[in-house]
Every structure is written in C-alpha cells, then in structure tokens.
Structure 1
Amino acid sequence: MAHSVFPSLMPADNVLSDYGLCQTSDIEEARSVGERIFCSNKIYSKDPKFNTRVNYRRVNSLGVGRMTYGGETVIDPDVMELFSLVQVPISGREFIESDGKRALFESTQGVVLNSHARTRIHHFGGDKIIIRVDNEVVRRQCQQHLGRTLHKDVEFDAVMNLDTPDGRNMVKMLAWMCDVLSTSDKLSPLLSTQFETTFVGMLLSCQPNNYSAELCEEKGQSIAPSFVKRIEQYIEEHAHEPISVGDLAEYAGVSTRSLFAGFRRFRNTSPMHFLKEVRLRRVHEELLRTPPSSGAVTTVAFRWGFSHLGHFTTDYKRRFGETPSETLQRS
C-alpha cells in the first residue's frame, strides 16, 4: 500500500505501544488472546512470518487496539453476540467474508463486523486499528437520537468507505482517540465518557445502517430558545461531572436529534462543543487563581477533562489568545 489513510500524529508502531497484550509466533497463544478480548476462534497459518502482535486498551464500553498477524493467516471466529467490531487499516490488506458477502479491506476501505454475523478473515499482513463496541451502548444511543425504542438491533453496512467526507471524519476522530490513549496513562471520567459517546455518535452518523434514513430525517418542528437555555444552564452547573449527549437529552426530555437541532438553529454550535467551551473557561478561571508551579497546567487541564495537552493548548490559545502557561504566569 502506498500510504495509510490513518492520520495518526505519531508513528504507527507507537500507537498504544504501552498496552501490549501479546507478541507471539505461537498460534495457540494468539488464539487464546483473541478469545479473551473478542470471542472463541480458530487460527490457521503456515507463513514463517506469522507473528501476532496485539496492543489493546479498554475505555468504558469501548475496546481500542492495534494488531497484526504478521504473515498470511486465516482467522475463523465464532459469532460475536454482544459487540460489533470496527477495523481501519494502517497498512496491508485482508479479504473478509461476512454472512456470505466478501469485501476487500485495504487502503481506503475499512469494515464493520456486526454481531451475529458469521465471519471469516484472510489476513495478508499489515497493521490495523480495531474498535470493539458493545451492542447495548450503540442501541441506547440510537434510541436517544430517535426518541423511541428500537425493535431491532443496529446493523451497519460491512464496507466502510474511508475516502468519503464521512469516512475521513471517522478516521480523524479515531486517530485523535488513539493518540490520546497512547500518551495518557490515566483518563478522567469526563474524557472516557466523551470517547464513548463521540465514537458511537460518529459511527451512527457516518456509517450506513438500518436506521440511517430515520437518523438523518429532518423534523419540521422547532425548539424554543428557553429549552436551549435550560440545557446551557445545566451544563454550566454540571461541567465538572461526566456529561454525555444522552444525559442532556434525558434531562431535557427530548431525542438527541432534537437536542442537536436546537443548538444548531439557535446557537450555531453543538451541545458538546458548548460543554468544551465552558470547561475551557473554567480552566482559564482556575489558572488565574493558581500560584505558578511545575505541573499546574497539566493538573488543572486533566481535572476539567482535557487529557491531550497538545489539542488542549491549541483550543485554549484559540479561545483566549495565549497559552495556558502564559495565563498561569499572570496569576
């Protein structure tokens, strides 16, 4: 492959490098690791380059990892019952058969392996990003968006096109997640919740599924400004707590789709972006009251849910016209 669609800020080998589960040329050991984090499986390989490497980290209901089998390998997993698996290539390629349909997984094409689907994977080397997501979380967030109970599980199209605007947005978000997870030993509850809700929301929005038409349907009804103000007040009062889009929708008694529509129409932003701006303001206020000391910026930023200091500093400087350290020196 000439280049990777995965735009990580760090070399691929450094992604989740501190979270290695195994590196082995023993097929039975590789099978056992796969069973521990995914499901029962069988692995076949006669390639002398076979060398399974798995780096993996759990974040709430998500499991995020980087893995390779090294050489040509066939993986025959049992049916996944409680989760779906998203795969995005860094390098290499795979042929994947899922419920009788075959897809080539390489370069600008990822794949979603739905639960309850019979799958067989023919791996030809290279690395991939994997995201294990629990069905119940996807179902709950979809219900919150639609404002009703689902009668069928969410089923995604198997092929994930990564060279479309939606696909590029998805891999950018995954790259950000992987960079943060690779460099932050501890995640605040605020950031862990944000990872879960952002990833599942992006998946529902960007990857075609059996509820896509309904999720994208525009409602004619409007939301009164007083509703938006109530949510803004809630965020102001609870910004120090983990808050998800679902929490806000439940508080307001509306679907998350209506929630987004209200903020888009009356505030030209999203509720989660508003939450981030409130937290940036709280960091600014706290830094102005904090005596200058080594590590103060990191401590305050982490307390308000900002774990990736590079992204935080960029957002902070955009908002206040100076770096957090410059603010601290003025305190």
Structure 2
Amino acid sequence: MTNPTPHPIADEPDPSSRTELFQTRDIEQARQWGTRTFCENELRNIDVRGELNASLLYRKYGSIGIGRMSYGGEVTIRPSTFDDFYLVQVPLSGVERITHGNETITSTPTVGSILNARQQHEIIHGAGTEKLILRIDRDLVERLCGQHLGNGAQAKVEFEPAMPLDSASGRRWASTMRWLFDYLDGTQSSSALLTAQIEHMIGSLLLISQTSNHSEALNEDRSRSVTPAFIRKAELFIEERAHEPITVGNIAEHVGVSVSSIYAGFRKYRNTSPMHLLKSIRLNRVREQLLRSEPKSTTVTAVAYRWGFAHLGHFTTDYKRWFGESPGETLAR
C-alpha cells in the first residue's frame, strides 16, 4: 500500500482561517505534520508490531485552532518547548500518559489535559486513542486574564495539567470544544468582530473552567460584588471601538452615565481607568498585528499609528514594559 501524503483540504487565502486534513501510515510524515501544525517534535512508534494510522482534521480560526486527531497505534511524542500557545486535549477514547517534570497524569475521556506554554512534556499516546485538541495563543489567554483581573496588563498563566471532565465545569468545557469543532466545519471566513467574540468566549471559559495560578484572584473578583451593567457595557464598547478615536465622554454617552461615574466605576470594580484599558487593548492589537506581519510589508511606525500611538518614544517604552521586548523584535519574529 502506498503511504498517502499529508495534504491540506482547503487552501484558505485568509491565514486566520484554515482547515487541514492529514492522514498517513508513515511515522516521519506524521512527525512533519505535527511540526507544521504545532511545533518541532520527536515521534516514536512504541509497538513496532502495531499499525500506525495517524490522522488529523484541524481548523484554525484567529488565535485558536481546534482539531480531532489519532495516531492509531501506540506512540511517544516529545514536543519541543513552545512559547506561543497552550494545548488543551480532551480524549474521546483510549488513554494517554503525559509527563511534565516529575508529574505524570493519565488522560482518559474523564480526564483531559493542558500542556502549558514554556514547559517540556512527553506524551505516550495509547493505541486506539482519539482526542479533540485546542491550540490557543498564549497572548490571547494572558491578555484576557489581565482584563478579568482588572490590571490592564497581561498576566502569565500556568494551568493545572489535569482537567477533570466529569465535573460540571469540565463537562461544559468538553461540550464547548465539541460545539466549536462542529461550528467551524466548513467555515471559510468570518467577520473580525465574530472572530474576536469567539476568541473571547473560548479564552474566558478556559480561565474559569480550569484551575490556574490566577484562579483564586479570578474567583475573588467575581464574588467581590456584582459589577454594574454599565461597566460591562463600557468595556465592550472600548473593545469594539479600540481602532477609533474614542474619549471617556464618548464612553459615558454610550452607556448613559456621567463621566465621573465611569471613572469611579472603573476604579472600584476594575482597579484601573477606561483610558488605561483602552491603551492595553491597543497595545495588544499592535502586538497581534506585528506577529502576523512580515517586516518587508510593514513597519512598526505604520502599525503604531494605525492604533493611535502618535508619540513613538512613549509607545516603545509602554510596549517594552507590557511585553518585555521592543516592537521591532516582535515584528522580526
């Protein structure tokens, strides 16, 4: 039998939306499409008598990607340390053993897993195992965490690696992954607004569904008091209009309260100001655009001006403080 070559089933011109299907019986081809879709990896067939039949249906949508995959036989995967994303895995059948440092978890249809960014893992994928996987950008998760905490800056997030899927929150997360996989079936393109809303929903649900180093603060923030509706409405207005020259007066007028109420509300319930939130959103939008752009096709100055930063010196200082690197270094990645 001739080994089929991995191939995309959709050549989507928009790089933020792509569907790919791979199927192969060749372990090197399987390793290559793992590298192409996720990161560099070592892949070894444990049971040489078993038959490898690797398959992946993967759909990329903005800052997230959802897929269904299996290797058929028993294999060991050692992905390289990845900095840019988290990988969430929900087994549909079979079993995996995932090791990080001295900790090993056994992942089954009742126990999912999260591979954290900046960590080294080894995965033993059992024969007959099939799983849903979600790749979600680290920048998205950390930006949303900062927004929920109200500090206006990205917060480094480290999740517990084991995700109970038989709890209420685990069942909700697993059903959301199944919904997302089905929803993106055949989706070729979408509006930027809808993409942002789906990213926000998935990232926020992950933060409240899975234990992390910020769970206590996130839970305290939700239980501290009920946030007035005008604050949430103002945040949505700022998020959607970040590309426009909006003022606190515009925000107050939109939500129907005074300017002083806007300032007082953000200070009490978010521990920040509306303009600080706007700056953080714009800085994150700049970073997202720089990461997607080629140095030959754009400049830092052009992107900064696009998002309302007229003073490049102040912009560069703020950017370095937010992200730990210069905007030029981000563009050069």
**Residue in 2 aligned with 1:107?**
109
Aligned equivalents of 1:75, 1:228: Cα separation in 2: 43
Aligned equivalents of 2:187, 2:86: Cα separation in 1: 25
Question: Which residue identity is paired with 2:208?
Answer: S
1:200 to 200, 203, 218: 203
| Range with greater deviation from structure 2 (119-128 or 187-196) | 187-196
Alignment of 1:37 with 2:40, yes or no, is no
Question: Which residue identity is paired with 2:27?
Answer: I
2:164 to 158, 161, 164: 161
Q: Figure out how many residues of one structure are paired with residues of the other and give that number.
A: 231
**Residue in 2 aligned with 1:185?**
188
Shift of 1:120: 0.5
Report the CA distance shift for 1:222/1:95 in structure 2 as closer, same or farther (over 3 A).
Answer: closer
Shift of 1:118: 1.2
Q: 1:175-208 CA distances to partner (integer Å, 9 max, x unpaired)?
A: 1111111143333333322221111000100100
Question: Which residue identity is paired with 2:40?
Answer: S
Question: Which residue identity is paired with 1:23?
Answer: Q
Report the CA distance shift for 1:215/1:231 in structure 2 as closer, same or farther (over 3 A).
Answer: closer
Corresponding residue SS for 1:81: coil
**Residue in 1 aligned with 2:125?**
123
Aligned equivalents of 2:161, 2:9: Cα separation in 1: 28
Q: 1:133-186 CA distances to partner (integer Å, 9 max, x unpaired)?
A: 111111100000011156861000000001101111111211111111114333
Question: Which residue identity is paired with 1:40?
Answer: E
Corresponding residue SS for 1:80: coil
Question: Which residue identity is paired with 2:166?
Answer: D
Question: Percentage identity across aligned positions?
Answer: 35
1:61 to 55, 60, 63: 63
Aligned equivalents of 1:231, 1:109: Cα separation in 2: 35
Report the CA distance shift for 1:75/1:221 in structure 2 as closer, same or farther (over 3 A).
Answer: closer
Question: Which residue identity is paired with 1:82?
Answer: D
Aligned equivalents of 1:47, 1:192: Cα separation in 2: 44
**Residue in 1 aligned with 2:54?**
52
Counterparts of residues 1-331 of structure 1 (less than 5 Å):
19-45=19-45, 46-124=48-126, 125-148=128-151, 153-218=156-221, 220=224, 227=231, 234=237, 258=269
CA RMSD of aligned residues (A): 3.1
Question: Which residue identity is paired with 1:180?
Answer: Y
Aligned equivalents of 1:204, 1:158: Cα separation in 2: 13
**Residue in 2 aligned with 1:299?**
none
Which structure is richer in relative contact order (CA contacts within 8 A, separation 6 or more)?
1
Question: Which residue identity is paired with 2:41?
Answer: N
| Range with greater deviation from structure 2 (185-194 or 209-218) | 185-194
- Mark the runs of 5 or more structure 1 residues left unpaired by the alignment: 1-15, 239-247, 260-331
Aligned equivalents of 1:230, 1:77: Cα separation in 2: 42
Tell me the TM-score normalized by structure 1: 0.62
Shift of 1:54: 1.2
